[in-house]
Amino acid sequence: MSVTPGRTHVDHLIVGAGFAGLAAAIKLDEAAERDFVVIEKDSDVGGTWHINTYPGAECDVPSQLYSYSFALNPGWSKVYSPQQEIWDYTRRVAEESGTLDRFVFDTAVLDARWDDAAQRWIVRTEGPDGPREYAARTVIAGAGGLSEPRLPEIEGIDGFQGEIFHSARWNHDVDLAGKRIAVIGTGASAVQLVPELQKVAGHVDVYQRTPNWIIPRNEREFSSIEKTVFAKVPGAQRALRSLVYATLEARVPAFARFPVLMKAVEAQGRKNIAKGISDPELRAKVTPAYRAGCKRILISNKWYPALDADNVDLVTDPIAKVTGDAIVTADGVERPIDVLVVATGFYVTEPPIAQHITGREGRTLADVWDGGGMAAYKGTTIHGFPNLFQIVGPNTALGHSSMIFIIESQVRYVVEAAKALRREGLAAVEPTQAAQDAWTAQIRRKMKPTVWQTGGCASWYLDKFGNNTTLWPGQTFTFRQHLSKFDLDKYDVQVSHQREAVNA
């Protein structure tokens, strides 16, 4: 292979320093695969938990499950951890891992292109010192499934003269006290931030397109005795973790096979509405008309009381346009505002990063997926894209449990793949088309009876073809089982061109 001057050669290039990238770095390091670099566009580790700093940001997966299995945290303050605590946790884990010397912050990956002659990924980045180029044997993409804010396409929104920002890019310089604020969206982010805005704003208009099922959040702080037990009694925290894990897994049949069981969740949701809202008209507006679970089930004790407050209006008329200082709804009503918060979610089924990854045949991942939707073998590897490993790839996300379990399962698989490459002396692996197609067909089959396909809603889980290409349609331990060993027999392999030449 010819070496281009100015290129940095590494074995593994990891994109993103969130839970996925950090786990990949730590586990590669442990496996003596130490020649890697982690490229992170932001200034620190933590990914979504570093970026999402909106008021009230907390995890809705129980704390005991929301940590790496190899780095339990006895110090969680509450049953559901706040954003800052999770970010602090990732920083601590990163520091203790001894891998931070290979992290490059404030640097964006511009594009990645497979060079078949060199059998390397050529990755261009842009950071504080300008552009840079890497040649990497593998690319491990851990950029996150919910990282690219989706801004709503609403007439006039670009001409809004007040402060406007996305929930995932909170502008802390804006003083919200006494202001007239509009929030577009009523998803997981809005449900957490609106109750905080209600406390300080003069008035809040919440624009709801579709209501969500929202059940109570069984929140409490861990006592100092509990924390001491977690820290000092061997196995105690792990036992609780297992119990939480099993409880969440027990919900899977209702999501995946028997959606009618979700009626129990709907009853909980209705009770939550009745408890939090006194006005029958408002109660009706927030009651969903689809099966619970079809969209992500949210948990909150604060959302309904916030909507019921005197300084909050829930607006359900569709937004017609945004003017310089107001939102106008289809019924012609104009509501003046100072601040506009767009809590409208993320690009999920058409991830922008896919436009910048070019595979073996010169096609981008976006081009390949455009024809039939996102697909990857075991949610991790993609035909036509040798040595590309996607963490939190297609059909790996969860509606019921912790993504960290999935991430760790995938990272194990990737490390096994890296070991196999070395052991077998291979230059590259990519799943066969047949293996990938069979995997995708199996996912589609399993997806058919799920609440996500049958529940009667539109959700960010579904792509433009109506397929759920985001969620894993089963128990998480099944996913782990599938990825427990690297199945080289399902892969097309490349030996190094140098070796080919020697053998010729």
User: Can you give the binding site for ligand N01, defined by CB under 6 A?
Assistant: 58-60, 146, 152, 154, 167, 184-190, 192, 207, 209-210, 296, 319, 343-345, 460
Residue 5 CB partners (closer than 8 Å, separation 6+): none
Shortest reach from residue 280's CB to ligand N01, in Å: 23
Closer to ligand N01 by Cβ: residue 241 or 296? 296
| Of 46, 42, 41, the residue nearest 23 (C-alpha) | 46
Shortest reach from residue 156's CB to ligand N01, in Å: 13
Closer to ligand N01 by Cβ: residue 214 or 319? 319
The pair of structure tokens assigned to 425 is 């002396």
Closer to ligand N01 by Cβ: residue 138 or 167? 167
Shortest reach from residue 399's CB to ligand N01, in Å: 8
Alpha-carbon distance 496 to 492, whole Å? 13
Alpha-carbon distance 118 to 104, whole Å? 24
Vertex 231 angle, CA 99 and 223, to 5°: 120
Alpha-carbon distance 245 to 228, whole Å? 21
Closer to ligand N01 by Cβ: residue 83 or 119? 83
Shortest reach from residue 188's CB to ligand N01, in Å: 4
Closer to ligand N01 by Cβ: residue 55 or 152? 152
Alpha-carbon distance 285 to 265, whole Å? 18
**Which element (helix H / strand E) includes 141?**
strand 130-141
Shortest reach from residue 148's CB to ligand N01, in Å: 11
Shortest reach from residue 457's CB to ligand N01, in Å: 8
Shortest reach from residue 55's CB to ligand N01, in Å: 12
The pair of structure tokens assigned to 450 is 């799920």
Any idea what DSSP says for residue 4? -
Closer to ligand N01 by Cβ: residue 359 or 394? 394
Residue 91 phi, psi (nearest 5): -65, -40
Closer to ligand N01 by Cβ: residue 167 or 450? 167
Distance of CA 131 to the CA centre of its chain: 28
Buried residues in 264-282 as b, exposed as e (16+ CB within 10 A): ebbebbeebbeebbeeeeb
Closer to ligand N01 by Cβ: residue 162 or 431? 162
Alpha-carbon distance 19 to 36, whole Å? 17
Closer to ligand N01 by Cβ: residue 347 or 477? 347
Shortest reach from residue 319's CB to ligand N01, in Å: 6
In 259-301, where do the E strands start and end?
Answer: 298-299
Closer to ligand N01 by Cβ: residue 234 or 332? 332
Residue 137 CB partners (closer than 8 Å, separation 6+): 10, 11, 12, 119, 120, 121, 387, 421, 427, 428
Closer to ligand N01 by Cβ: residue 60 or 249? 60
What secondary structure does DSSP assign to 148-207, as a single string?
A: SBPPP--TTGGG--SEEEEGGG--TTS--TT-EEEEE--SHHHHHHHHHHHHH-SEEEEE
Closer to ligand N01 by Cβ: residue 127 or 305? 305
Composition of the chain by helix, strand, coil, percent to 5:
35, 20, 40
User: Using alpha carbons only, how large is the chain's radius of gyration in Å?
Assistant: 24
Residue 287: burial class (beta carbons within 10 Å; 0-12, 13-18, 19+): middle
Any idea what DSSP says for residue 297? P
The pair of structure tokens assigned to 42 is 């932001």
What is the maximal distance between C-alpha atoms in the chain? 81
Shortest reach from residue 224's CB to ligand N01, in Å: 26
Shortest reach from residue 263's CB to ligand N01, in Å: 21
Shortest reach from residue 277's CB to ligand N01, in Å: 18
The pair of structure tokens assigned to 6 is 């100015």
Shortest reach from residue 375's CB to ligand N01, in Å: 21
Closer to ligand N01 by Cβ: residue 27 or 50? 50
Shortest reach from residue 495's CB to ligand N01, in Å: 42
